[in-house]
Structure 1
Amino acid sequence: MQPASANPKYAGIVVDAKTGKVLYSEDADSLRYPASLTKMMTLYLTFEALEAGRLTLDSPVPVSAHAASQPPSKLGVRAGGSTTVEQAILALVTRSANDMATALGERIGGSEERFAQMMTTKARALGMTRTTYRNANGLPNTAQMTTARDQARLGIALRQHFPQYYGYFSTRVFKFGKQTIGNHNRLVGTVRGVDGIKTGYTRAAGFNLATSAELDGRSIVGVVLGGSSSAARDAQMRKLVATYLPKASKGATSNLIAQSRSFSPPAAASVPVPVKPEPGLRAAVTEVVAEAELPTTAPAPTGRLPQEKLAGASAYAAEPKSQGAAAAVTAAMSRPAVAVPTRAPEPAPQVAARDEAPVDTDSVTTASTRASSSPKLPDGWVIQIGVSDSKDRAMDLLEGAKDKGGHALRSAKPFAVAVNTGGSQLYRARFGGFDDQKAAVNACNALKKKGVQCWASQQ
C-alpha cells in the first residue's frame, strides 16, 4: 500500500475494539466513497429488524425489477423471485451481492430511497457524523460518503450490538442452488484472528476493506479505504493486523458504541412489513458514547439528513452504559502517526473465536436448576447463544439450544450469567465445560447448522 502522499485516495485506521484507542490513523476523517462497505449498514439494520422480531431468518425477501437490475456482483435472482433473509445476508457477506442488498433495503424500508434515509439516520445515532447513504449496496453515488473512522465505529457496533449474528461475517462458503460462492474477503481463514468484516470496490472509491480481528483476548477493527489494488489493500491490512493486534488491550470489553434507539420511519402503504417500536424491551441510552479516541464531534458533510425522532429500544446483545459513565468518558482527538512496517510475518491460520470477558457479574444461573446455584463462572471455553433481559427467557434459549445441539452439547453445562450495566439487568445465555477452543467452535458450528447463532470465547 502506497503512503497517503503517493496515493491520495488512501485512508486508514486501526482501533482497539475494547478501549476505543486509535492505534494507527492516516486521513481517518477525510471523506471517501464507501463502495460495498455500505452493506455493513444494510446488515446492521437487517440484524436490528431480526432482533426486534420484524423479520425472521426464514422471512421471504422479494426481488423487485429494480433489485434484479443491479449490476454485478449479484446473486442473480430474477425479478419476481425471492430468497430468505438468511440467504440474502449470506449473499452480502460472501459475494457482496448488490441485488440482494437492494432487495433487503426494499423489504425493510419499503423503497431503497427510504431505506437509505434510515441508514443515514442510524449512522448519526451511532456517532458516524460524516457518513451519508443514498443506496443499500454502495454502487456509485457522489453524495454517498464516509470516513475510515466512521466505518471503524460501525464495525465495532456490529460486534457489540449483534453478537448473535456477527458470526455470519466469518462465512467462508455459501451454497445457493447450484452455486458455491466463496467469500470475497481473502483474509478470513488465512490471517490468524481475522473474522470479517467486508470488502468493497468501485473505480471512484478504490479498494476498501473493513476488518475485525480477535486473538488471545485482544480485539481490533481496522479500515483501509482507497487501495490501489485488491492485493495492495489486503497486504496493507495484513501488516496492520500483524503490527497492532499484539498492541491492543487485554482488558474486559466495554460498550464503546452505545446501542441507539431503533428508528421508526413513518408508516407507508408500500412497506411490506411495518416498522414499529419494539415492544417489551428496555429503553437504551439516546446519547452516543464518545469513547476515548472515537469522537462523535468530527464535522459533518454539507447537506446531511436531519436525525429523525427515534423510538423503541433493543436490549439484546448490547449492554448500554449509564449516563454517568458516559459523562466520564473522554473524546480525545489524537491520531498518532505510527509507521507501518514494510514487512510483517503472517501468523499461521487458526479458527478465530469471539472473546468477551464477563462484566459486573452478579450471579450464575444453571438451566437445570434455574437458581443462583454457583457464584463461580465455569473455567475454560464457553459458547454464547444470546442475551436477554429476562432470566426465564435466557433459560428457555438454553434449553431449546440444548435440544437442538444433540451430541455436540451432550456434556456441556448450560448457564446464564447475570450482569448489571448502568442499572439494567441482563442475562447472557451460555454453555460451558469445553476443554479447548476447537471443542467450543465445533459445538458452535453444530448449533449454527440447526439455526442457532452463537460464538465461542474463553472464560
Structure 2
Amino acid sequence: MFRVAFQALNGSSLLRRAVCAGVAVLLAVAPISSADAAKRKKSSTNNKYAAYVIDVKSGKVLFSRNGKSLRYPASLTKMMTLYMVFEQLNSGKLKLDSRMKVSRYASKRPPSKLGLRAGSSIKVRDAIYALVTKSANDVATVIAEHIGGTESNFGTLMTRKARSMGMSRTTFRNASGLPNSKQKTTAADMALLGRALQDRFPRYYKFFNTKSFRYGKRRYGNHNKLLGRVRGVDGIKTGYTRASGFNLVTNVKSRDRHIVAVVMGGKTGRSRDAHMKSLIAKYLPKAKTGRRLTALVVPRAGTTKRNYIQLASKIRLPKAKVAPGAPVALAKVDLTPVPAAAPQTAPVALVAEQPIANAPIQLAALPKARLQDNRATASIRQQPTRSKQLTVASLAIPPMPRPANDPIGDLSTHASAYAPAAATKSPQNPGIASFEAKPAPAGWQIQLGATPTLSGANKLLVQARKKNKRLLAAVLNHTETVAKNDEVLYRARFAGFSSKKSARRACKILKKQKFACLALNP
C-alpha cells in the first residue's frame, strides 16, 4: 500500500516537473514568436507602394494612396526624356530622321539596352521607339548628351521643365531612371506628366501606343502588357529597379471617359498589372463624360497666340452691356492684303488695370484700318455695368532675333522681376494708357532660358539674383517676348554687362549652380 502511494506521489512529482518545464519553454519562445510576427508584418508592409487615379476631364482625383509621397521613378523617368525630345522636334531643332551619336559612356550603360556601339549613331525616330518599347538605357543617355551636352546637365534641364509644369516634388538626375538616391518623384507628379505629354504633343504622344518595333535584325516588344489587352489603354510607361519596385503609368480612354492612373512599388510585374486593372475597372466608370472642363496642363504645340492665352488663363473679362446712347467711333479698316514679312513691331492689346497674375495676356496683332466707304461710325449707347472699368493699353513688341547658337531655346523655365514701364497718357487718346517696352541696357547680356510664362521667366531671374547678389548687382533683370512656331516665349536675361569677359564669368558661376546660361552680344 505504501509502495503504491509512494509511486503515485513520485509520479505526480514527475508530472509537476514536466508541466513546469513546458511552461518555461512556452514563456521563452513567446517573445521570439512575437518578434517574428512583428517582423513578418513589417515585411508584408510595402513602403514603396503608391497609387493615384485622376479624371482628366474634370480634374478630380478619384483615388490616391501615398499619391504625394516620394518614390523612385525608375524608367518612368523616360517619359520626361521623351517630353524633352518632343520639344526639340516641335521647335525644329531635331527631325525624326536626325541622327544622334553614341558616346563610349552611353554604350556602357547597363541593361535594359539596345547594345549600341560607341561611335555609331541612331535616328531620333528609332530612339523614341527604343525608349517606349525596350526602355533602352543606352539610348536615353544618347538623347541626354545630344540635347544637354552631358547627362548631368540634361537632368538639370529635365528638373526645371518638371517644376515649370507643376511637378513640385520631382527631381531628375539622369535620363534613364537608373538608380540614383536623389532622383525622386510622386505618383501625382507622374500623373501630371502623363497628361502633359498628351496635352502638349498629341501628335507625338501616339508613339506610346507602339506594341513593338524592329531595330536591326531584332524585334522589341513593349514592356507594357496592358496594351491591346485592356480596353482603352494606349500607353504610357513601365519602370523597375530594385529600389523602386514595379511602376506603371497608364492612360485610358473608353466610352467618352478619360483617366490617367499610376501604380508604383509593385512587388512583381504581374501584381502591379493586376492592381492597375482593378483601378481602371473601379474608377473609369466614375469619370466624367462629355466636354473637358479642365485647362490643358501645358499649352498645346502649334496653338495660336490667342488660343495660348485662353488655355493658359482661366480669367474671364466682364462683358460690357450695350444700349442706345453714347456715340463710339469705329476704326477705318484697310482690306488690302498684306504680304508676309520679316518679324516686325506688332501692337498688342493689354489690360492696364487688374493685372492677371502668372498669365501672359497677348492678343493677335491688329490689322491697319481703312473702309472703302465713309460709313465708319455708328451710334451706340453703353449701359453702365457693375464690373470695374478696364483700361486698354497698347504695347509695341520689338523683333527678337534668335541667336543661331542659342542652345537653351525653350528647354529651361523660370524668369525675372522686370517691371514694365509706367503708363503715360496718350495725347491722341486721353484716358487710354500706352506702355512702351523698356529697351535693354547697352552691353552684353546673359540668357538663363526661355519660358512659356512671364512669371516663370521672372522667377528664374529672382532665383539667380538671390544666390548671386554681388555678382549681379550692376546688371538689370530683363525679359524679352518672342513668338516662335505660333508659341509665345519669354526669355529670361540679365542685361548691362560691361564686357564679354564679365558676361562669360557670370555664366560660369551660374552654371556651377545648375542654371543654364548663355552669354550674348545683342
Q: Does TM, normalized by the shorter one, top 0.5?
A: yes
Separation in 1, partners of 2:254, 2:485:
24
Q: Structure 2: how far apart are the matches of 1:108 and 1:54?
A: 10
Ranges in structure 1 where 5+ consecutive residues have no aligned partner: 262-270, 289-308, 321-459
What's the offset of the Cα at 1:27? 0.5
Contact 2:199 2:300 in 1 (8 A): no
AA in 1 matched with 2:186: T
| C-alpha displacement of 1:219 | 0.6
Query: Quick one: distance in 1 between partners of 2:488 and 2:287?
Result: 22
Give the structure 2 partner of residue 67 of structure 1.
106
C-alpha spacing 1:53/1:5, structure 2 compared with 1 (3 Å): same
Separation in 1, partners of 2:484, 2:63: 32
- The counterpart of 1:128, out of the listed 167, 171, 176, is 167
Match of 1:274? Answer: 407
Q: Pick one of 33, 46, 52 that aligns with 1:7.
A: 46
Out of 141, 145, 155, the residue aligned to residue 194 of structure 2 is: 155
Please, which of 229, 233, 246 is the counterpart of residue 190 of structure 1? Answer: 229
Residue identity matched to 1:258: V
1:148-227 alignment, distance < 5 Å: 148-227=187-266
- 1:105 maps to 144
- 1:54·1:273 contact (CA, 8 Å) conserved in 2? no
Whole-angstrom CA distance in 1 between matches of 2:299 and 2:266? 31
CA distance, structure 2, for counterparts of residue 20 and residue 171 of structure 1: 27
2:416 match: none
Q: Secondary structure at the match of 1:156?
A: helix
2:91/2:485 contact within 8 Å kept: no
Deviation, 1:217, is 1.4
* Residue of structure 1 equivalent to 2:295: 255
What's 1:406 paired with? none
Partners of 2:156 and 2:285 lie apart in 1 by: 39
Secondary structure, in 3 states, of the residue corresponding to 2:113? coil
Displacement after TM superposition at 1:255 (Å): 2.6
Change (3 A) 1:211 1:178: same
Alignment of 1:13-412 (within 5 A): 13-253=52-292, 254-259=294-299, 274-277=407-410, 284-285=452-453
**Is the Cα–Cα contact under 8 Å of residues 201 and 300 in structure 2 kept in the other structure?**
no
Structure 1 residues 157 and 188: alpha-carbon distance in aligned structure 2, compared to 1, 3 A threshold:
same
CA distance in 2, matches of 1:61, 1:29: 36
Normalized per residue, the structure richer in helix is 2
Cα offsets for 1:268-291 (capped at 9, x unmatched): xxx99934259xxx9844569xxx
| Mapped partners of 1:214, 1:3: distance in 2 | 38
Aligned-pair CA distance for 1:256 = 3.7
Q: 1:80 & 1:255 partners in 2: Cα distance?
A: 44
Q: Distance in 2 between matches of 1:82 and 1:64?
A: 9
Amino acid at match of 1:193: G
Give the structure, 1 or 2, with the largest relative contact order (CA under 8 Å, sep 6 or more). Answer: 1
Q: Per the alignment, in what secondary structure is the counterpart of residue 207 of structure 1?
A: strand
1:142, CA displacement in angstroms?
Answer: 0.1
Indicate conservation of the 8 Å contact 1:283/1:313, yes or no. Answer: no
Contact 2:249 2:263 in 1 (8 A): yes
TM-score by length of 1: 0.58
| Residue aligned with 1:118, SS | helix
CA drift of 1:258 comes to 3.0
Q: CA deviation at 1:313?
A: 7.5
Distance in 2 of aligned mates of 1:13 and 1:231: 18
C-alpha distance in structure 2 between counterparts of 1:117 and 1:260, whole Å: 23
Please give the alpha-carbon distance, in whole angstroms, between the structure 2 residues aligned to 1:133 and 1:84: 24
Is the Cα–Cα contact under 8 Å of residues 105 and 115 in structure 1 kept in the other structure?
yes
CA deviation after TM superposition for structure 1 residue 173, in Å: 1.0
User: Could you say what the CA RMSD is over the residues aligned between the two structures, in angstroms?
Assistant: 3.1
Tell me the distance in 1 between the aligned counterparts of 2:291 and 2:479.
Answer: 30
Q: CA deviation at 1:117?
A: 0.3
Find the aligned partners of 2:54 and 2:228 in 1 and give their Cα distance.
21
How many angstroms apart in 2 are the aligned matches of 1:100 and 1:310?
Answer: 36
Give aligned pairs, total: 287
Call closer, same or farther: CA 1:227–1:86 in 2, change over 3 Å.
Answer: same
Give, in whole Å, the separation in 2 of the partners of 1:5 and 1:319.
51
Q: Is the Cα contact below 8 Å between 1:115 and 1:136 reproduced in 2? A: yes
The one-letter code of the counterpart of 1:101 is A
Closer, same or farther: CA 176–237 of 1 in aligned 2, 3 Å = same
Residues 348-388 of structure 1: per-residue CA shift (max 9 Å, x gap): xxxxxxxxxxxxxxxxxxxxxxxxxxxxxxxxxxxxxxxxx
SS in 2 for 1:250: coil
**Counterpart in the other structure of 1:338:** none
| TM-score, normalised with respect to structure 2 | 0.51
1:99 deviation in Å? 0.5
**In the TM superposition, what is the alpha-carbon distance from 1:311 to its structure 2 partner?**
8.0
Secondary structure of the residue aligned to 1:196 is strand
Q: Name which one, 1 or 2, has greater alpha-carbon Rg.
A: 2
Q: CA deviation at 1:238?
A: 0.7
